[in-house]
Amino acid sequence: MSDVTRILNAIEPGDAKATDGLLPLVYEELRLLAAQKLSHEPPGQTLQATALVHEAYLRLVGDGPQSWNSRGHFFAAAAEAMRRILVENARRRKSAKQGGDRQRIGLTDADPAAEAPSDDLLALDEALTQLSAAEPAMADLVKLRYFAGLTIEQVARIQGISRRSVIDHWAYARSWLARQIARDGKTPPP
């Protein structure tokens, strides 16, 4: 049993000291996942990988009881937390109170024909919510691949399926999401 799994098992009954020992063990891995995810975000992203990891970690080990079956279950929960944080951040940026669809640019970069920011992440989130209702395992795979940035091999280990199944499910989920986003009249994410 790995140290992470041992600590996760100790956290479940409410061992507060175990929570303190978890972050040092998973911090670098979570930070790499967050940095990888943020690299896919459009320019001008104000959220840094460190802040994303800290926010996700706080949500994961907050005041409520935690119950993770394994290291894979923990990282799946981390991917979901990162997804929610990024979506909330996108919504906040888009809201009228924060400037609506205006994009902040420096005066030297000002171009009168500048385009409005893309709604790709919000469209993806809507489609992913619909996929979760229809195919929860496929939605989890998308969260692990797209939001957590895990490799096909890592997802196969976490979900307990073959590498080939992950490839097939990933292709199916991407196609399903692209069709759903196109049906809703929004541009699919890259």
Domain locations in the chain as residue ranges: 1-113, 118-190
Structurally, at CATH architecture level, domain 1-113 sits in Orthogonal Bundle (1.10)
pTM reported for the whole predicted model? 0.52
Residue scoring higher pLDDT (160 or 104): 160
Instruction: State yes or no: pLDDT of 109 exceeds 70.
Output: no
How far, CA to CA in Å, does 54 sit from each of 124, 159, 169?
24, 25, 30
Query: What mean pLDDT comes out for the span 147-151?
Result: 86
| Nearest alpha carbon to residue 28 among 8, 6, 1, 57 | 57
179: tokens are: 């069709």
Residue 115: its pLDDT value, please? 42
Q: Which CATH architecture has domain 118-190?
A: Orthogonal Bundle (1.10)
Report which of residues 8 and 77 the model is more confident about: 77
What mean pLDDT, rounded, does the chain reach? 75
Predicted pLDDT of residue 45: 62
> Is the pLDDT assigned to residue 97 strictly greater than 80?
no
pLDDT given at position 1? 44
